[in-house]
Amino acid sequence: MFALRVGRPVVDAVAPSVRLQTRNYATLKEIQLRLKSVNNIAKITKSMKMIASTKMTRAQKAMEIARTFGRTQTALFSHADTKSADDARTIVVTVSSDRGLCGGIHSSVSKASRQILEEKSGVEAIVLGDKAKAQLSRTHRENIKLSFNQIGKNVPTYAEACAIVDTILKEKTEFDQAIIVYNYFKSIISYYAETIPVYSEAVFTKSGNFAAYEIEDDVLENLQEFAFANAIYWGLVESHAAEMASKRSAMENATKNAGEMIDKLTLTYNRGRQAAITNELVDIITGASAL
């Protein structure tokens, strides 16, 4: 009984110090590992920001050229006073890409496309990119007729737009009006969903000012196909530029957040290290005083 009473004070005197030191060292090691992980993430996001900045510069150059042809085409339909009937057959072409890490850029075109599908009945959707396809499939899976992927890795080309139009026409997709939904590049930090209208040959011939244009009949079909491909190319290039700008902003914010987290973890690590050193010094001084 006496031995049991003697043993308890010894265990109680040693155990808290051992547990405290063990807990402190484990915590410091975990903080150090997390700090290393966040540093690696910051390096990756910084590199991705630089890559997105380079791609955005190239995309802007291609976008300016595509805008010139696209606005000229839109002006043609506007001057001809081309309008579709309320019950016209309509298709929606949603322009997105296959990759993420670029904010809510895909959600904006999906939301605009979903609004058009809900307002008009019997509208078919053609989706460019897996991101928008996944979002539209949740609510309007039955409206999706065609989908394309492997888009947006590099700056889109006019040949890719022509290939998309050829596939759509080979699938015998008939329409009076096509609405291309894309992200309009306003600035490096601003974009919004916009639409480009494209009309079929039959609708264009019924325009109010069509007689002012001297167009031969065999040219109308080629004009309609060119207008469709040109509109899709404009939407692809414009959306690509907006995506690169959004990705650059997203990576910049991620790098900034990682830097703030590194500062906090470094401060926590230094405080814990100082506390551990202080506890060790207290134990050493206490032991020396006892001797």
User: What confidence score (pLDDT) does residue 2 get?
Assistant: 37
**DSSP labels, 229-257:** HHHHHHHHHHHHHHHHHHHHHHHHHHHHH
Q: Which DSSP state fits 95?
A: E
Measure the CA–CA gap between 158 and 287, rounded to whole angstroms. 81
Token pair 């551990």 is found at 276
User: What confidence score (pLDDT) does residue 48 get?
Assistant: 85
Count Cβ neighbours within 10 Å for each residue of 229-246 and write b for 16 or more, e otherwise: bbbbbbbbbbbbbbbbbb
Mean pLDDT for each 10-residue chunk of the chain (291 residues)?
Answer: 39 44 60 88 88 84 86 83 81 85 78 88 87 87 87 82 89 86 86 87 80 73 85 90 85 89 88 84 80 70
User: What confidence score (pLDDT) does residue 93 get?
Assistant: 92
Report domain extents, the chain.
Answer: 51-249
User: What confidence score (pLDDT) does residue 152 get?
Assistant: 65
User: What confidence score (pLDDT) does residue 103 get?
Assistant: 65
CATH tag, 51-249: 3.40.1380.10
User: What confidence score (pLDDT) does residue 212 get?
Assistant: 72
Strands 190-199 and 177-187: antiparallel
Mutual angle of helices 217-290 and 2-79, in 10-degree steps: 160
Q: Report the candidate in 42, 55, 95 with the shortest Cα–Cα distance to residue 188.
A: 55
